[in-house]
Amino acid sequence: MIGKLKGLIDSYGDDFVILDVGGVGYQVHCSARTLQALPSPGEAAMLSIETYVREDQIKLFGFRTDAEREWFRLLQTVQGVGAKVALAVLGTLPPADLANAIALRDKAAVARTPGVGPKVAERIVTELKDKAPQLASVDPTVVRLSGAIDEARAPQPVADAISALVNLGYGQPQAAAAIAAAARAAGEKAETAQLIRLGLKELAK
């Protein structure tokens, strides 16, 4: 199997690059983000490669880093996510942002990917949630608290407080994490205004 290719950029297609390695041109499919980062034709480039062998074809997928290739493999362990969708996700979110989105269960960030609907985004953040936190750059406490509140079942003051923070411009996972911490500190009978005030203090830490 081909694991890495180093050569000269020959030409570009819509979703691939031709990489000239010792006079042999390899067609390598890449995400839009990867294609934009590669140099001009004639210049040197190196790509981590994932090789797919089918009965009727051999297909190469290229990535700027080994980490991005690992994410490509990981995404395809999710039901309904094939190579095309995995590549589209990585074209929308760099690996670090994808790890953060999954760790914080921010399905809206994943759903920004063209062709990825809410259901697939939900499966990605749910099925990969145990694999992403160690790859994410977010505070583990925020990761833990972001899953601490189910808004559908939360008391009204808690749901209202989360909504208020989201309206102030905070991301839903961060807002939920902050209000989860505020609710623990203030107790079950806390009013919305008190939760918002404590939540803002949490976000300011």
Cβ(180)–Cβ(105) below 8 Å: no
CA separation for the pair 59, 78 (Å, rounded): 21
Cβ(177)–Cβ(201) below 8 Å: no
Q: What is the mean pLDDT of residues 11-40?
A: 95
CA separation for the pair 116, 80 (Å, rounded): 10
- Give percent of the chain above pLDDT 90: 41
Beta bridge partners of 62: 49
Q: What is the mean pLDDT of residues 165-176?
A: 77
pLDDT recorded at residue 83: 93
pLDDT recorded at residue 102: 82
Output the pTM of the full model: 0.66
* Greatest mean pLDDT among 102-106, 126-130, 134-138: 126-130
DSSP string, the chain: ---EEEEEEEEE-SSEEEEEETTEEEEEE--HHHHHHS--TTSEEEEEEEEEE-SS-EEEEEESSHHHHHHHHHHTTSTT--HHHHHHHHHHS-HHHHHHHHHTT-HHHHTTSTT--HHHHHHHHHHTTTTSGGG--S-HHHHHHHTS--TTTS-HHHHHHHHHHHHTT--HHHHHHHHHHHHHHH-TT--HHHHHHHHHHHHH-
Tokens read off for 197? 């005030």
Closest CA to 90 of 65, 72, 117: 72
- The pLDDT tens digits of the residues spanning 63-96 come to 999 889 989 999 999 998 999 999 999 999 988 8
CA atoms within 13 A on the CB side of 52: 17
Question: Which of 144 and 126 is assigned the larger pLDDT?
Answer: 126
Longest CA–CA separation in the chain, Å: 72
Residue 148 has pLDDT above 60, yes or no: no
- Give percent of the chain above pLDDT 70: 87
User: Among 67-71, 114-118, 150-154, 177-181, where is mean pLDDT lowest?
Assistant: 150-154
Q: What is the mean pLDDT of residues 143-165?
A: 66
pLDDT recorded at residue 132: 59
Rg (the chain; Cα; Å): 21
Question: Which of 60 and 139 is assigned the larger pLDDT?
Answer: 60
CA separation for the pair 87, 101 (Å, rounded): 16
Question: Which of 136 and 8 is assigned the larger pLDDT?
Answer: 8
Residue 133: pLDDT band by 50, 70, 90 thresholds? very low
CA separation for the pair 55, 37 (Å, rounded): 32
Domains (ranges, CATH) in the chain? 4-63 (2.40.50.140), 66-138 (1.10.150.20), 144-204 (1.10.8)
Residue 169: pLDDT band by 50, 70, 90 thresholds? confident
